[in-house]
Structure 1
Amino acid sequence: MQCCGIRFQEYLSFHSKVAYKLLVEQTNHRFEAVPQQILKKKKYTAKAATDSSMAAVAGKRPTVTHVIFDMDGLLLDTEKFYTEVQEIILARFNKTFEWSLKAKMMGMKAIEAARVFVEETGISGSLSAEDFLVEREAMLQKLFPTSELMPGASRLIQHLHAKGIPICLATGSHKRHFELKTQRHGELFKLMHHIVLGDDPEVKKGKPAPDVFLAAARRFEGGPIDSQKCLVFEDAPAGARAAKNAGMYVVMVPDPRLDSSHHAIADQVLSTLLDFNPSEWGLPPFENAESNHAS
């Protein structure tokens, strides 16, 4: 059996099993045939294959030039509001709000998430998706203005802006909700080059469709920016899939209650934004004072 110009047995004898495993994961290829699109891009030699897998072992990552942020659950601690309100609504039907359902809804447009909610909880016969949104809206409008920043959000945004890295926001939130959620944090969000909201005319489909991230890439100066130069920060499975569907790299900062099976799609998974090391992605490193700042 041939692998990248050398025999499979020779590959294993020359390289570690760890490198082989990483190469399989990176290429989704088990050495039965090298995809033609790879052959066209470059001569895929044993050395190239080894360099690729060894780079992964060494923790090297691609160099990016532009950063796109999600908002809910990533920059702002707002997901708890949705959970609280939806638990209240379901209690009326003697039902509980499961985290597996929340994982499906996170990042979606409101009406899409509402349809999933009423169908999967079995209340669609008593409460339509539209009525659910009306009932939920009244409670959320009181909670959104109290939104707090997530750990590390302010530090990272201010750092990237100060270093001249183009940054933007791409969120499923509609304008009316965005304004309520950011009331206390207006100065920070003004640092974004631009903001793409869920009710933007260019966003035809919500996450996991790539629309919002592709629109974000188009609006940077000199856009559209090459997707491979964009790094997306997300907390939700649907958002992470949307970023990958747009051809972008994604750092996922998930809620610890989210099943780890949802992590696989991300290029990097962090506990909080405080754990992000910009230099790993070719971005300017934090100064010592910034590294010790926990906000």
Structure 2
Amino acid sequence: MSPCSTECGEDTPSITFTELMPVTHVIFDLDGLLLDTEPLYTIANNQILAKYGKEFSWELKRQQMGRTHDDAIKVLLKLTDLDTLVTVEEYSKDYDALLLQLFATAPLLPGAEKLVRHLHKHNIPIAICTGSADHEYKSKTSRHPDIFSLFSHCVAVSSDAEIKRGKPAPDCYMKCAERFAVQPASFSDVLVFEDAPNGVESGLAAGMQVVMVPDPRVEDTHRRKATLCLESLEFFDPSAFGLPPY
């Protein structure tokens, strides 16, 4: 595949922005990448913000994506001018209760199960790096225990005492790579899958290649930062990164 300046779309399911290099390890984001949880965040935020006459817009969602739990709420409160009326703790109490009810319903996104099973079958080390807290991760993945048992480990950034900065900082992806039983020779040997601009920046800052599978509303400027942009995980070709082909 050659460099292309066109957005991912119906006629261009995959777009390469830089040369693709072979990898040995793979790390996945969770929300909006493996699991279709993103609509659940919108539902929960809209229910709470409605009490204050506010609405959860796409711009708010874009600014939150990939951040830790508390950082995401801080951003939301600031951008809605509620930061002087509502504390992070107060918002979290109602927000978390709603989300935990919704998380267990989250389905897998197209192409996710096929790719995860394929990499595991061929003994490619795979892990998850999510901005979620441990209890959120357990709830989100509870519907698919057979799939998520295939990952070697998960870095749940919001609960991890060793990680001080969430995405877009590189810390979480670097720490996730370091926790593989057999570590990659270099961070450049790790491939990251992300849907959010903050997550793409995090993976790239860690020195890794990043495949982006964005929400259709993500701007072209954010897509261009990724190594490769895909419309769906269904279009991913493992052999393009030196991984075993389907």
Is TM-score (shorter-chain normalized) higher than 0.5?
A: yes
Alignment of 1:191 onto 2:162: no
Unmatched tracts of structure 1, length 5 or more: 1-18, 26-55, 287-295
Specify the code of the residue in structure 1 equivalent to 2:164. Answer: K
Alignment of 1:236 onto 2:196: yes
Alignment of 1:77 onto 2:36: yes
What is the CA deviation profile of residues 95-115 of structure 1, one whole-angstrom value per residue up to 9, with x for unaligned ones?
Answer: 222212211100100111111
How do 1:196-235 and structure 2 match up within 5 A? 196-198=155-157, 199-223=159-183, 225-235=185-195
The answer as to whether partners of 1:114 and 1:130 remain within 8 angstroms in 2 is no
What is the CA deviation profile of residues 16-65 of structure 1, one whole-angstrom value per residue up to 9, with x for unaligned ones?
Answer: xxx9xx7xx9xxxxxxxxxxxxxxxxxxxxxxxxxxxxxx89x8521111
> Per-residue deviation at 1:212?
1.2
The answer as to whether partners of 2:173 and 2:203 remain within 8 angstroms in 1 is yes
**What CA RMSD, in Å, does the superposition of the two structures yield over aligned residues?**
1.9
The 4+ residue runs of structure 1 with deviation greater than 6 A are: none
TM-score normalized by the length of structure 2? 0.90
State the identity %.
43
What is the CA deviation profile of residues 261-286 of structure 1, one whole-angstrom value per residue up to 9, with x for unaligned ones?
Answer: 21121001111100101111111111
Alignment of 1:163 onto 2:115: no
Specify the code of the residue in structure 2 equivalent to 1:156. Answer: L
Alignment of 1:131 onto 2:94: no
d(CA) in 1 for partners of 2:141, 2:154: 12
d(CA) in 2 for partners of 1:271, 1:222: 31
Unmatched tracts of structure 2, length 5 or more: 6-15
Specify the code of the residue in structure 1 equivalent to 2:72. Answer: A
d(CA) in 1 for partners of 2:47, 2:78: 17
Equivalent pairs, count: 233
TM-score normalized by the length of structure 1? 0.75
The answer as to whether partners of 1:99 and 1:258 remain within 8 angstroms in 2 is no
Higher RCO (CA < 8 A, seq sep 6+): 2
d(CA) in 2 for partners of 1:224, 1:252: 21
Work out which of the residue numbers 210, 213, 231 in structure 2 matches 1:271. Answer: 231
> Per-residue deviation at 1:124?
1.6
Q: Which has the higher helix share?
A: 1
d(CA) in 2 for partners of 1:161, 1:62: 20
Asked which structure has the greater CA Rg, the reply is: 1
